[in-house]
Structure 1
Amino acid sequence: MQASMPELRDIHLPEPVSFWPPAPGWWLLALLAFALLTFAVLAIRRWRRRRQAQRQAKALLAQIDWQGDQWPRELNSLLKRAAMAYFPLNDVASLHSGQWREFLCQGLADKQREAFLEDYARLQTQLYQPQTDPLSPEPYRRWAELWLKQALPPKGGDYV
């Protein structure tokens, strides 16, 4: 039997399995992980820009001179600038009068909405036709704080 098997060789083990190149499943997993990481980084950056825009708007709101007679203009200007930073420019820049009031009260509950529309109409009247009876700034400051808190800016940005 030994004589008939001279051409047989000893058992050879296969080469060790290399880690490179990885299997297609690992490539897909790496691609998915990269996509999730990119999405997370972009979401965090967007969230930070939103928070920054809201902080800036609140800081500007605190700087308004509520004792003077120019606060209605300053408040209206601040809300317009904040809206243009929060929302797409084409949706906000051309709004005025009733459209502007309606835009500002989006997202408010029905009772809040009615009160806001009435109050803001008085403010807009005060902007262009100063009254002998000045408005109390407190409700308007509260409305502005509420709007700045509830408005969710989709694009973030700095105030100009």
Structure 2
Amino acid sequence: MNPNFDPTQMPLRDIHLPDAVSWWPIAFGWWVLASIVVICSIIFVIRFYICRHRRVACREIQKSIDAINVGQDPVLCAQEVSTIMRRFAMTVNKQPQTVAGLVGEEWLSYLDELWEQKEFINDEGRRLLSAPYKVTGTLDLEEFLKMASVCISWIKAQPVRI
């Protein structure tokens, strides 16, 4: 190297580092991910809102079961369960007036049509017709619990309609 050489006398510019990569605008993949998260959140909120009737009906039947443990008469609780089932069926049906007029075997057949199982035509579900009209103190606790279990299973089996 030349001892008389002075690098500061050369017409060179200083080394400049490139600007830091900014966060904005974000890459296409992040837009896709954000879109998926928003769409999934909207679907979750809509399904949560639509399923509220199912949750409320199951909660009310569970309250009737809990009331029996406190000492309430199973016949009164069976009346409540029957009312809850009718209200729920009217809520999920697009034509509630058709459900409101169903009684007896037609009511049980309607409930079985909306379910793969035939529990309401059988003994367990048939109690839904007779239990609310029994004399106070004549309904067995086990009978009520089986009927309530069938009703809760039916409610949970109903599809979500968006």
TM-score range, shorter chain: 0.5 to 0.7
Q: Counterpart of 2:53?
A: 53
Asked whether the 8 Å contact 2:124–2:150 carries over to 1, the reply is no
**Alpha-carbon distance between aligned partners in 2 of 1:79 and 1:58, rounded to the nearest angstrom:** 10
Question: What is the aligned-residue identity percentage?
Answer: 17
Q: Counterpart of 2:20?
A: none
Distance 1:81 1:153, change over 3 A: farther
**Worse overlay, 80-89 or 99-108:** 99-108
* Residue pairs, 1:1-160, within 5 angstroms: 46-64=46-64, 65-66=67-68, 67-68=72-73, 69-88=75-94, 89-109=96-116, 112-113=117-118, 115-117=119-121, 118-130=123-135, 133-135=138-140, 136-152=143-159, 154=161
Structure 1 gaps, min length 5: 1-40, 156-160
Q: Deviations over 1:30-79 (max 9, x none)?
A: xxxxxxxxxxx6x6665233221111111111111334230111110000
Distance 1:153 1:87, change over 3 A: farther
Paired amino acid for 2:145: E
**Alpha-carbon distance between aligned partners in 2 of 1:131 and 1:52, rounded to the nearest angstrom:** 32
- Structure 1 residue 139, shift from structure 2 partner: 0.7
TM-score normalised over the length of structure 2:
0.57
Distance 1:116 1:50, change over 3 A: same
Q: Counterpart of 2:12?
A: none
TM-score normalised over the length of structure 1:
0.58
Paired amino acid for 1:130: V
Moved over 6 A (4+): none
Structure 2 gaps, min length 5: 1-41
- Structure 1 residue 85, shift from structure 2 partner: 1.0
Equivalent position SS for 1:98: helix
Q: Deviations over 1:104-124 (max 9, x none)?
A: 122444xx41x4322333342
Q: Deviations over 1:11-43 (max 9, x none)?
A: xxxxxxxxxxxxxxxxxxxxxxxxxxxxxx6x6
Residues paired across the two proteins, number: 114
**Worse overlay, 60-69 or 43-52:** 43-52
Paired amino acid for 2:76: Q
Distance 1:152 1:125, change over 3 A: same
